[in-house]
Amino acid sequence: MEQNNKFIISGKPEPVNITEGCGSLGILLRKRLLRNGDNVALVDGVYSSELRYLELLEKAVCLADALRSEIGVRSGDVVGIISENRLEFPVSLFAAFLLGATVAPINLTYTEREFDHALNLSKPKILFVSPYSAERAIKAARRNMNFVKQVFLYGEDNPYGADVMLYDEFLSKKPAINPHTFWIEPTNMEEHVALIMCSSGTTGLPKGVQLTQRNVIASLPILSELESSFEGPRIILGVIPWFHAFGCLTLINVLCNQQKLVSLPKFEEGLFLSCIENYRCTFVFVVPPLMVFLAKHPLVDNYDLSSIYTLLCGAAPLSKETADLVKKRIGVKNILQGYGMSETTLAMVVQTADCNKPGSVGKLLFGTKAKVVDPETGRILGPNQPGELCFKGTQIMKGYIGNEKATNDTIDKEGWLHSGDIGYYDEDGEFFIIDRLKELIKYKGYQVPPAEIEAILLTNPKIKDAGVVGVPDEAAGELPLAFVVNQPNVTLTEAEVQQYVAERTSPAKRLHGGVRFVSEIPKNASGKILRRELRAMLNRPKSKL
Ligand SMILES: Nc1ncnc2c1ncn2[C@@H]1O[C@H](COP(=O)(O)OP(=O)(O)OP(=O)(O)O)[C@@H](O)[C@H]1O
Ligand SMILES: O=C(O)[C@H]1CSC(c2nc3ccc(O)cc3s2)=N1
Ligand SMILES: [Mg+2]
């Protein structure tokens, strides 16, 4: 009965023959890389070193052949990558895909404990690590030699011992392999896991999200959907970490759509701005903290950012006000939002140049269905009625590795993925995200979205950043409280901040719990506010800031 429900909305059908008749993701990737031969695929934004498409494929094939013949890496084995964005990363990623192996990118800033958690989720047979995190990562690998059989180290020096192999040494002196004839095993793309992505760990320990080869292929047309109305060179800035779904799938998307990607190993203010100016970047994938930086930081005025045609923002709430500030300040043509989860491969909902209502995250992508349900009753809701967003489609994950319960709690028996996010769609099918179900503040029976109050606080020129949580309260349930980071050299009192919000909100959304002044708002690598860390700060004595 539900399937015919008029409130279930669908995106366009997937492009016909999306797998192009290829028997595996590896075969499709080879076809796409060959198509673009001698053009530049990747530029290291720090060292300006370049990798052309054919070079990328030749290196990946050579590495794949060596891994198969010398280490015995087979289809179905897991290959871990613990590295910042650098040119060896896509070579290792594509080599694994050519072997039909599963890739587990892991956050290089993890502590040893977090590495243990991530490694025991995906149990990689081999690990590629960069010097940045090698010491911690190799210690964690050595604690897990029951499954980690070999560590390869990027860079020139290996102070860690003979059990670690230098990637460049391993790859050099290898016979050249003809990329056209390299044997790639056909796989069952619907079942075969291509990526195990760690979710961001915003609401708890990161989960191991299994994305099949078919999930990855389903995401490939996104870029052409996003750049529908753009003429001119596409020079994309890749600063979103490739160990996160947003960054990794964007990297694969760019390389399968013959674009040029300029990579940055991390976000550093001057490097980010000078990279855009020097390489004349036209498309920049960003997360909201970068948008707040572009909106408010004085350094931005020192750089020529006129090459930017489109900013593509996702991974966390972006307010209309912040987007307007950026548009006004740097004159970018498009600011397009998208909404996704690690569990949905890449975005499920994106704005395009001709579909971008202010504050919306856009419309459903092809091959996707959505419904909005009342979190209490499960009843399907209609347009403009906020509820939990649920999705179905070819981008929905296979499940959480080693966690059947969490999988069944997230994907129901009818195959609907329950996002845990509250939002609605309007009469035109454009989606609006309110906040996470788990993070709504309950004040006297009202549901107060922290993101809405944070958006208001960010419009105050004296405020650099803000994070809002609920303070437990006997009478009201929870009281909204704001952690605030002042702009440098300004003074701001608690009363001023409370007044500023009170003038702009209904009574329930006012800062009844007060204001705490802090030096920074804790966020994770994919730009999300770690409100559970803010809640932990509630129990600490007020700072004298
Ligand atoms: N455009 C957006 N606007 C608002 N929120 C967004 C947007 N895009 C993504 N999100 C948020 O990011 C979440 C997906 O993030 P991700 O999969 O990286 O892990 P996480 O949910 O933050 O962490 P974890 O699942 O480990 O607790 C979505 O559920 C949603 O809450
Ligand atoms: O929040 C996340 O975890 C990630 C998972 S993938 C994702 C997004 N992907 C896109 C792609 C295009 C775009 O314009 C925005 C997003 S958000 N968000
Ligand atoms: Mg999540």
Full DSSP string of 384-415: T--EEEEEEETTS-SEETT-HHHHHHHB-TTS
Architecture of the domain delimited by 25-35+50-212: 3-Layer(aba) Sandwich (3.40)
* Amino acid found at 81: I
Q: Which secondary-structure segment (H or E) carries 418? A: strand 417-425
Q: How far apart are CA 187 and CA 89, in angstroms?
A: 23
Q: Which atom of ligand 2 lies at the shortest distance from residue 246's CA? A: 6
Q: How far apart are CA 20 and CA 17, in angstroms?
A: 5
Q: How far apart are CA 511 and CA 490, in angstroms?
A: 21
Q: Which atom of ligand 1 lies at the shortest distance from residue 314's CA? A: 1
Q: How far apart are CA 295 and CA 460, in angstroms?
A: 12
Q: Whose CA is nearest to atom 9 of ligand 2?
A: 347
Q: Whose CA is nearest to atom 15 of ligand 2?
A: 338
Q: How far apart are CA 294 and CA 323, in angstroms?
A: 10
Q: Is 342 in the pocket of ligand 2 (CB under 6 A)?
A: yes
Q: How far apart are CA 330 and CA 307, in angstroms?
A: 10
Neighbouring-strand partners of residue 82: 129
**For residue 228, which phi and psi values (nearest 5 degrees)?**
-50, -35
Q: Can you give the pLDDT at residue 544? A: 58
Q: Is 201 in the pocket of ligand 2 (CB under 6 A)?
A: no
Domains 25-35+50-212 and 442-538 share a fold: no
Q: How far apart are CA 134 and CA 205, in angstroms?
A: 22
Mapped onto helix, strand or coil, the DSSP state of residue 122 is helix
Q: Whose CA is nearest to atom 5 of ligand 2?
A: 341
Q: Is 361 in the pocket of ligand 1 (CB under 6 A)?
A: yes
Ligand nearest to the CA of 248: 2
| 430 CA distance to ligand 1 middle (Å) | 18
| 120 CA distance to ligand 2 middle (Å) | 26
Q: Can you give the pLDDT at residue 526? A: 87
Q: Can you give the pLDDT at residue 229? A: 59
Choose among 143, 136, 114: nearest CA to 208: 114
Q: Which atom of ligand 2 lies at the shortest distance from residue 337's CA? A: 14
Inter-residue contact 295 to 270 (CB < 8 Å): no
CATH assignment, 215-436? 3.40.50.12780
Q: pTM of the prediction?
A: 0.94
Q: How far apart are CA 204 and CA 200, in angstroms?
A: 9
**For residue 540, which phi and psi values (nearest 5 degrees)?**
-90, 155
Q: Can you give the pLDDT at residue 1? A: 46
Q: Is 251 in the pocket of ligand 2 (CB under 6 A)?
A: no
Q: Is 337 in the pocket of ligand 1 (CB under 6 A)?
A: yes
Q: Which atom of ligand 1 lies at the shortest distance from residue 245's CA? A: 18
Inter-residue contact 219 to 210 (CB < 8 Å): no
Q: Which secondary-structure segment (H or E) carries 276? A: helix 269-279
Neighbouring-strand partners of residue 448: 441
pLDDT tens across 81-113, in order?
A: 999 999 999 999 999 999 999 999 999 999 888
* Amino acid found at 198: C
Choose among 442, 505, 429, 510: nearest CA to 470: 442
Q: Can you give the pLDDT at residue 283? A: 93
| 283 CA distance to ligand 3 middle (Å) | 26
* Per-residue tokens: 107: 């956050």
Inter-residue contact 86 to 111 (CB < 8 Å): no
Ligand nearest to the CA of 245: 2
Q: Is 516 in the pocket of ligand 1 (CB under 6 A)?
A: no
**For residue 73, which phi and psi values (nearest 5 degrees)?**
-75, 125
- Measured CA to CA in angstroms, residue 185 lies from 32, 74, 97, 226, 238 at distances of 17, 10, 10, 32, 30
| 281 CA distance to ligand 1 middle (Å) | 26
- From 250, 419, 422, 528, the mutation candidate for ligand 1 (largest count of ligand atoms within 8 A of CB) is 528
Whether ipTM exceeds 0.90: yes
Ligand nearest to the CA of 338: 2
Low pLDDT (below 70) residues in the chain: 1-4, 228-231, 542-545
Q: How far apart are CA 451 and CA 539, in angstroms?
A: 22
- Parse the chain into domains and list their residue ranges: 25-35+50-212, 215-436, 442-538
- In CATH terms, is domain 442-538 a member of 3.30.300.30? yes
Residues with CB under 5 A from ligand 3 (ion): 199
Q: How far apart are CA 159 and CA 173, in angstroms?
A: 22
- From 246, 356, 360, the mutation candidate for ligand 2 (largest count of ligand atoms within 8 A of CB) is 246
Q: Which atom of ligand 2 lies at the shortest distance from residue 244's CA? A: 3
Q: How far apart are CA 428 and CA 355, in angstroms?
A: 10
